[in-house]
Amino acid sequence: MLIKERLFTPGPVPLPPQVIKALGQQIIHHRTPEFKKIFTEVREKLQKLLKTEGNIIMFSSSGTGGMEASVLNFFSKGDRVLIINAGKFGQRWKEIAQTYELKVVDYEIEWGKTYDKERVLQIVSEFPDIKGIFVQQSETSTTTYHDVSFLGEVSKNLEDCILVVDGITSVGVYEVYPEEIGIDILVTGSQKALMLPPGLSVLYFSDKAEKRLSKSNIPKYYFDVQKEAKKQKEGQTAYTPAINLIIALNESLNLILDEGLKNLAERHRIMAEATREAVKEIGLKLLSESPSNSATGVYSPAGINADDLRKELLKIGFRVAGGQDSLKGKIFRIAHMGYFDFNDVIQVIAGLEMALYRIGFDIELGKGVKKAQEVILKNS
Amino acid sequence: MLIKERLFTPGPVPLPPQVIKALGQQIIHHRTPEFKKIFTEVREKLQKLLKTEGNIIMFSSSGTGGMEASVLNFFSKGDRVLIINAGKFGQRWKEIAQTYELKVVDYEIEWGKTYDKERVLQIVSEFPDIKGIFVQQSETSTTTYHDVSFLGEVSKNLEDCILVVDGITSVGVYEVYPEEIGIDILVTGSQKALMLPPGLSVLYFSDKAEKRLSKSNIPKYYFDVQKEAKKQKEGQTAYTPAINLIIALNESLNLILDEGLKNLAERHRIMAEATREAVKEIGLKLLSESPSNSATGVYSPAGINADDLRKELLKIGFRVAGGQDSLKGKIFRIAHMGYFDFNDVIQVIAGLEMALYRIGFDIELGKGVKKAQEVILKNS
């Protein structure tokens, strides 16, 4: 019988029909007034998304390329940096920083937890020469939200420090306004809440960060922010851009801005809360102590391998993500980012109940669904 | 009245309907057997395209990213390299090599000409420690073909040298078989003869080049060939791949392999020859002394700015490229790469005649078209 596979993975995420339509078009040339107009519109819409009139550039790369650009352009060899390392992507910040010979103060945090404010203050008082604080606003591997505002305050009070935020799974989920929060560099990627295929990364940088550009002594070519920023202000790119992704981004940004950023964040908050309350009601335990609204990580019940449960879910029609590295087989993750509404949450919770039932977990069907319904009705 | 704009630019190039259809689809997840199957098929088809069972990897980046990866992974700081610098893209090899502190022997060649074999032999006898020779097989800025076989021989006879070829506008136009030719590293990009939107680069490397991987002392992260090669052999990528481009590449490689590589190269040869003969018949002069079959560069007639002529052509329905840097306003370029047949050549030549007529050039209409027809009939 027909089973429609539904993606509930934290990237890639389902594409809206408007985006699919924009992708499935004949190509246009990038050195044309037509493309320049679209490119300029996209930049303006990205500025609206981040409530800034500041610097935003795009690279043809996955989000990791954007992360690498943040290190290559705004730091120099030997710079001391603090890494909030609370998961696979915190680890990635550390790897990139070490690749380019930055001195890393590695604040390792148990997976599923967020940072301790006191500990951060201790670290910066011990190392007042810290030139950058690196963090994930939403650490996808552990579905954990890290408060970036506090780090913005800490960074501001240091002599010459910038806050570098991986917003790959937070932009488009939360209201992320770097100038209000004190974020100096913000990276995001196309295949998350921007609802596109992978292949495009977006980088915002503050005026304070901009001053670093001419000072950085790390060599770069493809990911040269100065070169791109100059070109992109003129509506062009240094190298051939991911034309069809940028055209599709114009469509997805229309969807986002038409919904409104407050509504967008509220929708994600409700979807995530409904999911969390439902899985707790079912009797399962959340992975994160500081859960993100991008995705919800859940421990598989005792005696049930999370990957077996995921296979059952897939048979029913839901693709959810597993755990990475040390969490493999222990947890599963349900994404909320992007083109989802409340009914999608109901559907995946019902599916989860059925999968648990099939795999032999003692469950009262409909209990989680009812809880999700209640949360949705109360909040909307 | 309706004017359909036709792209005759050397990248991006028109997309075949099969590719457009593949692009305009809902996304699938990359960590699935379904995607792994497609990814593995694409790798096998790329191997067929290049007649090799060797190493091929893909990056989510424009072609320039692939060029950068060639330098980052197979060389070390201080390595001496010879750059065949005969145009904008030769210049790019030089810039990338210098960015990463390679010692560049810059063999600068007048734009529109190819290298002199004797001069190359002189250079390598003067610098026997050359570790790499960098060249464009087809230098797009000057529409010039450089013989890479000779450089393959030169490279083989040096103690520890590899031949690095930018095949961005030659792969899919010529039969490019790196193992037969002696190419150690071959880069190509999606938006050229592979008939896709930009955003994907492809890198082939020989066993000889592979031995360099562990020795290179240049830092890299996103463009780390060793990491990607290991992952991609297993049907995965280190970072989220450009999923929809890879799925579309499967389609365009089907088209290419179904036509057959000999036919494909022959078709491009005939289209390029027909174009060259036609523009000469019209009374115009070719830019290149060693013309490439990827695109034909033509001098605008005396007293006519090439960019004005291009505007006339665009009004008629043909977008051709202009000259870059020192050639700006002097030349125009008509591409032949990818989804073109003989009738497209006829059409653009007729359009060129009409544009020249309108701009006041003394021309006998139909003369160039007749010449193109003759070349096509004689060759097919």
pLDDT at A2: 87
For residue B71, tell me if it sits in a domain: yes
CB contact under 8 A, A240 and B100: no
pLDDT at B170: 98
B33 plus B64 within the same structural domain: yes
* Nearest C-alpha in A relative to B60: A61
Residues in chain B within 8 Å Cβ distance of A102: none
A173 phi/psi in degrees, rounded to 5? -115, -45
Which CATH number is A94's domain given? 3.40.640.10
For residue B343, tell me if it sits in a domain: yes
Chain B interface test: which of A222, A223, A237, A252 (most B C-beta within 10 Å)? A222
Separation CA B186–CA B192 (nearest Å): 15
For the residues A162-171, what does the mean pLDDT come to? 98
B114 plus B173 within the same structural domain: yes
Cα dihedral B172, B175, B181, B184, rounded to 10, equals 20
Nearest to A24 among B24, B65, B95 (CB): B24
Residues in chain A within 8 Å Cβ distance of B201: none
- Residue after which a domain boundary falls, among A211, A231, A258: A258
| Closest C-alpha among B171, B163, B154, B231 to residue B13 | B171
A38 plus A103 within the same structural domain: yes
pLDDT at A283: 97
For the residues A282-295, what does the mean pLDDT come to? 98
- Exposure class string for B327-349: b at 16+ Cβ within 10 A, else e: bebbbbbbbbbbbbebebbbbbb
A160 plus A137 within the same structural domain: yes
pLDDT at A159: 87
Cα dihedral A255, A258, A261, A265, rounded to 10, equals -60
Nearest to A245 among B13, B100, B199 (CB): B199
Give the pair of three-digit tokens for residue B356.
């020249």
Chain A interface test: which of B35, B88, B244 (most A C-beta within 10 Å)? B244
Give the pair of three-digit tokens for residue B91.
């210049």
Separation CA A196–CA A250 (nearest Å): 10
For residue A9, tell me if it sits in a domain: no
For residue A119, tell me if it sits in a domain: yes
pLDDT at B219: 97
| Closest C-alpha among A68, A261, A80, A247 to residue A159 | A80
- pLDDT, tens digit, for every residue of B209-232? 999 999 999 999 999 999 999 999
Give the pair of three-digit tokens for residue B145.
């073909």
Provide the sign of the torsion angle of the four alpha carbons B116, B118, B121, B127, taken in this order: negative
Q: How far is CA B61 from CA B64, B140, B141, B203, B268, in A?
A: 8, 19, 20, 11, 26
- B168: exposed, middle or buried (Cβ count in 10 Å: 0-12, 13-18, 19+): buried
**Minimal C-alpha gap between B322 and chain A (Å):** 11
B250 plus B267 within the same structural domain: no
For residue A5, tell me if it sits in a domain: no
Nearest to A7 among B20, B27, B241 (CB): B27
pLDDT at B370: 97
A303 plus A208 within the same structural domain: no
Confidence category of residue B233, pLDDT binned at 50, 70, 90: very high
Confidence category of residue B1, pLDDT binned at 50, 70, 90: confident
Separation CA A321–CA B269 (nearest Å): 49
**Minimal C-alpha gap between A125 and chain B (Å):** 31
Which CATH number is B277's domain given? 3.90.1150.10
Residue A127: pLDDT over 90: yes
pLDDT at B203: 98
Provide the sign of the torsion angle of the four alpha carbons B110, B115, B118, B122, taken in this order: positive
B92 plus B231 within the same structural domain: yes
- Residue after which a domain boundary falls, among B202, B227, B258: B258
Residue partners of A122: CB distance under 8 A and separation at least 6: none
For residue B353, tell me if it sits in a domain: yes
Residue partners of A44: CB distance under 8 A and separation at least 6: none
Give the pair of three-digit tokens for residue B337.
């790469």
- Residue B333 in marked binding region: yes
B32 phi/psi in degrees, rounded to 5? -135, 155
Provide the sign of the torsion angle of the four alpha carbons B16, B18, B19, B23, taken in this order: positive
Question: What range does the domain containing A150 cover?
Answer: 17-258
For residue A193, tell me if it sits in a domain: yes
**Minimal C-alpha gap between A246 and chain B (Å):** 11
pLDDT at B159: 87
A87 plus A218 within the same structural domain: yes
- Residue after which a domain boundary falls, among A238, A258, A278: A258
A2 within 8 A of A312, measured Cβ to Cβ: no
pLDDT at A293: 98
Our count of domains for chain B comes to 2
For residue A276, tell me if it sits in a domain: yes
Give the A:B interface size as CB pairs under 8 Å: 154
pLDDT at B55: 96
Q: Which helix (H) or strand (E) holds A162?
A: strand A162-166
A224 plus A86 within the same structural domain: yes
Residue partners of A32: CB distance under 8 A and separation at least 6: B319
Confidence category of residue A1, pLDDT binned at 50, 70, 90: confident
Q: How far is CA B107 from CA A376, B80, B102, in A?
A: 68, 13, 15
- pLDDT, tens digit, for every residue of A28-58? 999 999 999 999 999 999 999 999 999 999 9
A264 within 8 A of A172, measured Cβ to Cβ: yes
Give the pair of three-digit tokens for residue B78.
């201080």
A248 plus A349 within the same structural domain: no
- pLDDT, tens digit, for every residue of A313-339? 999 999 999 999 999 999 999 999 999
A137 plus A168 within the same structural domain: yes
B44 plus B146 within the same structural domain: yes
